[in-house]
Amino acid sequence: MAKIGSIEGIGPVFREKLENAGILTTETLLEKGASAEGRAALAASTEIEGKRIMTFVSRADFMRIKGVGRQFSELLQNVDIHTVDQLAAADATAINTAMTTVNDAKNLTKVVPSVKQIQGFIDVAKGLDAVVSV
């Protein structure tokens, strides 16, 4: 897995707080933040808002899928897909349409993944274990 600072939205301040709590990698974040109880404990120990912890955990979860990356994970969250398990159950065309709408409004990425790319993400997601509970 990657270093904790590779997650979109984790700058120096949040990185330091997470590292001080022993969270050095995306893998550790997923282990500690997979459950609501774990995220609450992380929020308490890092003094990072629980909602933001969930955002970071969700992005770490998506990083298990090659090609999703920092920006596409943010797009997925903006279309109410927050876990690999949710992505595995989604429809590629619907996600593409929703992502295009969100990106037109918020300009989050230079390009929205194609339906074919999203289907590839979904196919990979179906082969992964569900880790994060919402």
Give the 3-state DSSP-derived string for 70-84, with helices as H, strands as E and coil as C: HHHHHHHHHCCCCCH
Kindly report, residue by residue over 14-49, the tens digit of the pLDDT.
999 999 999 999 999 999 999 999 999 999 999 999
Q: According to the model, what pLDDT value does residue 71 have?
A: 77
Q: Phi and psi dihedrals of 113, rounded to 5?
A: -60, 145
pTM of the model: 0.91
Q: According to the model, what pLDDT value does residue 112 have?
A: 96
Q: What residue ranges of the chain have pLDDT lower than 50?
A: none
